[in-house]
Amino acid sequence: MSSTSIEARRAEQFLDARRERTPRRTRTRLDAFPRGRAARWMLRLAFALPVAVFVLLDQLGPQLAGSPNARLLETVAGIEWTRGDAQWLSALYPHVTVLIASANPFGRIGIGMMGAIASGFLLQKICEVIAQRSIPRSTGVILVIALAANPLYAYFAAQDLAGFLAITFFGLALADLVRFVNWGNTESGFRAGLLLALAVLSDPTGILFTAVAVLASPFLRHGRPPSRGLRAANMLVIAFPSIGAFVTVTALSLLFFGTSAFDGVASVLAQAPDRAVELALSYATPTGLLLAAPVVSAWLVAIIVRRLVAIPLSIVVFLMVNAAFVLGLIGPGSAGMTFTLLTILAITLIPAARTRTQNVLVDLVAVLQIVIAWTAALDRPIVVDWMTGIAGSIGALLG
């Protein structure tokens, strides 16, 4: 054998050994998106930037009266930090949001920027879910536009820090919930439970989001071999941190102060009949059906991809949203929560289309979501007032 042939064979063996040492970089269902850490942070920054611009423009005008952020600032300003009794603990709820807002030295613009940062994390995670579930790129782009490129989402992120933090933790938890149930990743299950606990401690709507996540888990395809009690065990893993947080706070209050930190719940429930009347009146208006439009869209997608089990789930979630409003979990001035919640659920839970025809039909429903979001935004007086203020700020800058 010639020296040339020997060298060529050695070179081939060297390349084969190098290929064995180098792992293949095919995308898996657990890969982050984008893979590079720098690229992920750049994507989060890109998604946070539009909301940050709206926050800066809003800063040029007066504070929007009746917005959740305005109430949050009033709550923080009225807290007596020298106290330490059960009523004081109750005034601190939602603890995560109140502590973040109280540590913020920039007031109104600071809490708005925190909403922008949360928006960056939420939308990056939604893109990651879309990539992991192999949803076609065209559908994924339209879904992200339908979710975020509308006044409802912008108002929600810029003017409702507590609610938006809760739904951000919920969105992050859903991504881990899918990994836990579908693909058997136990670490993701514990992480989903902790994120839902943070949602509960960020806003009362977090209670709704946790209930939705727990209820949705049995409807997912389970990656583990079927066994008795598996679905109930999964639900307990997800719900345990949230239940534990409330039980711990209540137990400590009873132990040290002799009263519950949540004694104010009775007064909140006393207003439930008035809220029920208000809810009924909202459905009686010509545009009241817009509240149910995202549910109808979820039904259409479920029928298109032949995942009919998602239909009863969307109905139950919608009923839970209405019950949350009656029970006072959704405060006045909130807008965009129902639309954002149902859109995130559709992206996370409904299977990807398998055929070109299904892809086209799902894309059309996603485009319909854009129309629904803009129409609903123009029907909400507080969102219209906010948009008018933003337009006034832009007009003042342009002279």
Mean pLDDT across the stretch 114-127? 96
**CA–CA dist 141, 27 (Å, integer):** 19
Q: Where are the alpha helices (DSSP H) in the chain?
A: 3-21, 37-59, 68-77, 86-91, 95-103, 107-132, 137-148, 151-159, 161-183, 186-200, 205-216, 230-256, 265-269, 272-283, 293-304, 310-326, 337-349, 356-378, 381-398
- The residue among 263, 260, 279, 266 whose CA lies nearest residue 330 is 279
Residue 249 domain-assigned?
yes
Q: Could you read off the pLDDT of 192-225 as tens digits, one per residue?
A: 999 999 999 999 899 899 999 998 888 777 666 6
Q: How far is residue 133 from each of residues 12, 36, 121, 175, measured CA to CA in Å? A: 38, 19, 18, 10
Residue 290 pLDDT grade (very low, low, confident, very high; cuts 50, 70, 90): confident
Residue 22 pLDDT grade (very low, low, confident, very high; cuts 50, 70, 90): very low
- Does position 189 have pLDDT exceeding 70, yes or no? yes
- 375 compared with 222, residue with greater pLDDT: 375
- Does position 84 have pLDDT exceeding 80, yes or no? no
First-to-last alpha carbon distance for the chain, in angstroms, is 84
**CA–CA dist 187, 158 (Å, integer):** 32
**CA–CA dist 211, 209 (Å, integer):** 5
- Does position 24 have pLDDT exceeding 50, yes or no? no
Residue 302 pLDDT grade (very low, low, confident, very high; cuts 50, 70, 90): confident
Residue 383 domain-assigned?
yes
Mean pLDDT across the stretch 252-272? 64
Residue 15 domain-assigned?
no
Residue 23 domain-assigned?
no
Structural domain count, the chain: 1
pLDDT of residue 13: 57
Residue 348 domain-assigned?
yes
CA pseudo-torsion sign 228, 307, 346, 298: negative
- The residue among 244, 211, 223, 206 whose CA lies nearest residue 313 is 211
Residue 12 domain-assigned?
no
For residue 247, the enclosing domain spans 37-263+270-398
Contact 116, 55 (CB under 8 A): yes
pLDDT of residue 271: 78
Mean pLDDT across the stretch 154-160? 95
Average pLDDT, the chain: 84
- Does position 25 have pLDDT exceeding 50, yes or no? no
